[in-house]
Structure 1
Amino acid sequence: MSSSSPAASAVSGSAPPQAPHVVEDCMGIVQLLSDGTVTRNSDYSHLPILRDIPSDLPVQWKDVVYDATHGLRLRMYRPTTVGKAKKLPVLVYFHGGGFCIASFEWPNFHAGALRLAGELPAIVLSADYRLAPEHRLPAAHEDAMAVFSWLRDQSSGGGDAWLAEFADFGRVFVCGDSAGGTIAHHVAVRLGSGTLALGDQVRVAGCVILWPYFGGEERTASEAEAEARPLASSEFDPGRNFDQMWRIALPKGATRDHPAANPFGPESVPLDDVPFPPVLVAKAGKDRMRDRVAEYVNRLRAMGKNVELAEFVGQGHGFFVFEPFGKASDELIGVVKRFVYCTIYGGHG
């Protein structure tokens, strides 16, 4: 005859520990598990990745570490058609990806940077930053500040030879698409509020914001319309993942009205008295966030900011990324070129 103590019964009857399970799966690329760990898939082949980039573009590029502590790099591009006697504007570019995916190494972002460097022409610095959910916001914003601190240090001499020979540190533009456009906004705010100091050598002359990735708890009309529209099986719409990306990018427990997402949210810094450089905003006509982009432009203009809006009818969110050699992208390059050089030499507005 056998017997067991109550303690032994409790142990033998307890459920085995549950293995970590997926709580968020973002596009099959990033998986957040129940224990807080993150797995990443390096296979992006199911996304519309560019396969062929012309090999004869007149641009050289190289990768440079700008933050050794976090192992962060940027890709520097310089046109080969401009002699050393001519100093070029510097375009600091931050890529999109909902703060969760992508890199300057993506062929699409690489192709876009090649075009900007060669056709503006300009020195382009296409920077990576830490991604969520491993590094939730404001990590990406802090990394953007580190890029500009690095650039300030480069302007003092003894730095990269390409920058020393070709860069005009007095004509720097901050630029980005989607999440990178949101980063560009936050860089402009920090510059204007004085929390990012660049010294006397570096001057941000303008800000180029391409279809910025803003959020808010209350749906706009264009967001509600996009949610209700059926998606064809062959159609790629990055906007389907926007809410999820905000969930895993924002600080834990934050809503889409957090200042990192909503520039006009209840906790956001009032921008009325914050000086902005001239701003170019590109709006895609089929972007689900087009209403937010329009509101952003209208509210900045109402504050007296110098803001230009370029509208691309019939284009979707990220068209320059997904079709960097398309007709609309040709037009975008021309708009950015005009903005940069008119801002430098006058006539903008």
Structure 2
Amino acid sequence: MSKITLTSHLHEVDECRGALRVYSDGSIWRSSKPSFDVPVNDDGSVLWKDVIFDDSLNLQLRLYKPAISPSFTKLPIFYYIHGGGFCIGSRTWPNCQNYCFKLALELQAVVISPDYRLAPENRLPAAIEDGFMALKWLQAQAKSETLDTWLTDVADFGNLFISGDSAGGNIAHNLAVRLGTGSPELAPVQVRGYVLLAPFFGGTMRTKSEAEGPKEAFLNMELIDRFWRLSVPVGDTTDHPLVNPFGSYSPSLESMALDPILVVVGGSDLLKDRADVYAKRLKTWGKKIEYVEFEGQQHGFFTIDPNSDAAKELMLIIKRFIDDYSCLDSRQQLKHF
């Protein structure tokens, strides 16, 4: 854990869940401990390893696959991009790792969880760019002549689903817009759909759920505003195109061709209205979009309590979405597992 000695002229300006502190001179303190210090539930049913996907930035991702699978075909790939308001979080945090274990086992998928540069040291669009580079790494694996059989023997590169939690959901949306239908930039890898879990969108005008939501919410407005203040480009507002899909400076999504999108939100999440409007507008414009709201659930309920009934129901919904949009014709027989 880094240490800062405060002087009479130095004071704390911002703090994020005990993991990040910003001081009046612009200095940054980050804890080596995660905000969610829970036990890692690694029982051996899922195999995993870390890989560097960007040498210049030393950015890593974590790969997961079921240790045993009854399937005789290769497994779909499911990207899971962690949340944290673009300011905190990591693939290594135990809440993220535990959820990836569940995703790999219950979806019967190869799960890839990439890190990305965090704000305020690296403001947007850094996180979006890193999300794209993590996908280009996967493309390189699909094209490589020196194959990493740990991945290639089980992964179906023609069945990729990109998901993100909160800020990760925002990244997933922006990747969907950049890649378009069929993701030709990633060939031979092909995206089949996107899963936006409590996507972290913003805007200068408050929604009803933001204005009237409880101040004691897990993700309250004070924290939401703080995350945006630290992550939007200097001089910009939350109507920035990467933050607000429908801001006055945002490109219209009406004419854009997008792959299928599943949007999930808790009914007590202050970001609920933004997710609802997002799904309704895209549906009005003819996009393949599904919206699921879990009554009474808070922001990030699925990782906070992954064994809850709501989290279990969500897993079934994600599984059905993958089954609905997987291209079965692209599946190849496993050489060995």
Q: Same fold (TM over 0.5)?
A: yes
2:14 equivalent to 1:24: yes
Residue 214 of structure 1, aligned match among 201, 217, 223:
201
Using the TM superposition, name which of 269-278 and 139-148 deviates more.
269-278
Paired residue type of 2:43: D
8 Å contact 2:54–2:60 — kept in the other structure? yes
Equivalents in 2 of 1:176, 1:255: separation in Å?
23
The answer for the alignment partner of 1:180 in structure 2 is 168
Structure 2: which 5+ runs fail to align? 1-6, 329-337
Shift in Å, 1:299: 0.6
Shift in Å, 1:274: 1.3
Paired residue type of 1:164: T
After TM superposition, the score normalised by the length of structure 1 is: 0.87
Percent identity (aligned): 45
The answer for the alignment partner of 1:189 in structure 2 is 177
* Per-residue Cα deviation, 1:299-342 (whole angstroms, up to 9, x for no partner): 11111100011221111000011112222111111000000011
* Per-residue Cα deviation, 1:183-208 (whole angstroms, up to 9, x for no partner): 00000000018998112x11000000
| Equivalence map 1:95-174=2 (5 Å) | 95-157=82-144, 158-174=146-162
Equivalents in 2 of 1:225, 1:147: separation in Å?
38
The answer for the alignment partner of 1:262 in structure 2 is 244
8 Å contact 2:184–2:190 — kept in the other structure? no
Q: How many residues align?
A: 321
2:243 equivalent to 1:243: no
* Per-residue Cα deviation, 1:166-189 (whole angstroms, up to 9, x for no partner): 111110011011000000000000
Structure 1 pair 59–247 and aligned structure 2 pair: CA distance change class (3 A):
same
Paired residue type of 1:148: L
Tell me the SS of whatever aligns to 1:81.
coil
Equivalents in 2 of 1:29, 1:74: separation in Å?
20
Structure 1 pair 153–275 and aligned structure 2 pair: CA distance change class (3 A):
same
Structure 1 pair 309–326 and aligned structure 2 pair: CA distance change class (3 A):
same
After TM superposition, the score normalised by the length of structure 2 is: 0.90
Q: CA RMSD in A?
A: 2.1
| Equivalence map 1:285-304=2 (5 Å) | 285-304=267-286
Structure 1 pair 219–197 and aligned structure 2 pair: CA distance change class (3 A):
same
Structure 1 pair 159–18 and aligned structure 2 pair: CA distance change class (3 A):
farther
Using the TM superposition, name which of 216-225 and 238-247 deviates more.
238-247
Equivalents in 2 of 1:86, 1:65: separation in Å?
27
The structure having more radius of gyration, on CA atoms, is: 1
Paired residue type of 1:197: E
Residue 305 of structure 2, aligned match among 323, 335, 340:
323
Equivalents in 1 of 2:317, 2:43: separation in Å?
23
Equivalents in 2 of 1:187, 1:306: separation in Å?
16
The answer for the alignment partner of 1:3 in structure 2 is none
2:323 equivalent to 1:341: yes
